[in-house]
C-alpha cells in the first residue's frame, strides 16, 4: 500500500531517532562506570533493547507503506559519568516524546489510524523511560534540567 510521503518522511525521522537511541544506550552500557554502575548499566542495556523493538516496528511500518527505511542514526551523546549519561538519555527521551506527538497529530490528520496507534504505544514507552531516569536522578538530590 503506497503511503502518504509526509508520513513516510516523519516515520523515517522517528526511525533515525530510535537508531540513535539504541547506539547511545549501548555505548552508555559499554562504558559507564562508578559506584552505581552495577545497578544502572543493566538499565542502559534493557532500554537499548526497547528502542530496538521500536525501530523494528517503525521500519516495518515504513516498508509496508512502500517507503525505504533509513539506516542513518540521529546524533548520539557519549561519555561523562553516570549522572551525565542519564541526563543525556533523559534529554533524548524528552526530544523523542515531543517529536512523536507531532507524528501522532500528522497521522491523525492523514486518517492513518494504524500509524497513530503505533506511535501512541511507542510514546507511552518513551514516557516510562523518561520516568525511570527522572526517578533515579531525583534520588541524587540534584535539580533536573
Q: Which residues contact 46 (CB under 8 A, 6 or more apart)?
A: none
Interacting positions 10-29 with Fe ion (CB under 5 A): 18
> Residue 57 interacts with Fe ion (CB under 5 A)?
no
The sign of the torsion formed by the CA atoms of 117, 20, 130, 100 equals negative
Contact by Cβ (8 Å): 126, 97: yes
Interacting positions 74-113 with Fe ion (CB under 5 A): 93
Of these, 103, 129, 133, 137, which contacts Fe ion (CB under 5 A)?
Answer: 129
Of these, 54, 57, 61, 116, which contacts Fe ion (CB under 5 A)?
Answer: 54
C-beta neighbour count of 43 within 10 angstroms: 19
Q: How far is the CB of 53 from Fe ion (least distance, A)?
A: 8
Instruction: Compute and round to an integer the Cα radius of gyration of the chain.
Output: 16
- Please identify which residue in the block is written with the cell numbers 530496538: 52
Of these, 11, 22, 41, 51, which contacts Fe ion (CB under 5 A)?
Answer: 51
In the complex with Fe ion, the residue whose CB is nearer, 18 or 112, is: 18
Residues that bind Fe ion (CB under 5 A): 18, 51, 54, 93, 126, 129
Amino acid at each position: 500500500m503506497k503511503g502518504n510521503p509526509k508520513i513516510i518522511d516523519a516515520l523515517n525521522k522517528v526511525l533515525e531517532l530510535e537508531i540513535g537511541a539504541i547506539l547511545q544506550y549501548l555505548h552508555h552500557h559499554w562504558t559507564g562506570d562508578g559506584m552505581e554502575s552495577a545497578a544502572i548499566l543493566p538499565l542502559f542495556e534493557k532500554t537499548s533493547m526497547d528502542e530496538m523493538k521500536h525501530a523494528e516496528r517503525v521500519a516495518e511500518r515504513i516498508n509496508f507503506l512502500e517507503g525505504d527505511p533509513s539506516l542513518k542514526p540521529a546524533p548520539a551523546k557519549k561519555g561523562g559519568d553516570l549522572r551525565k549519561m542519564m541526563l543525556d538519555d533523559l534529554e533524548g527521551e524528552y526530544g523523542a516524546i515531543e517529536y512523536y506527538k507531532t507524528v501522532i497529530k500528522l497521522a491523525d490528520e492523514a486518517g492513518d489510524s494504524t500509524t497513530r496507534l503505533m506511535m501512541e504505544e511507542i510514546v507511552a514507552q518513551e514516557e516510562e523511560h523518561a520516568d525511570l531516569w527522572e526517578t533515579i536522578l531525583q534520588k541524587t538530590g540534584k535539580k533536573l534540567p
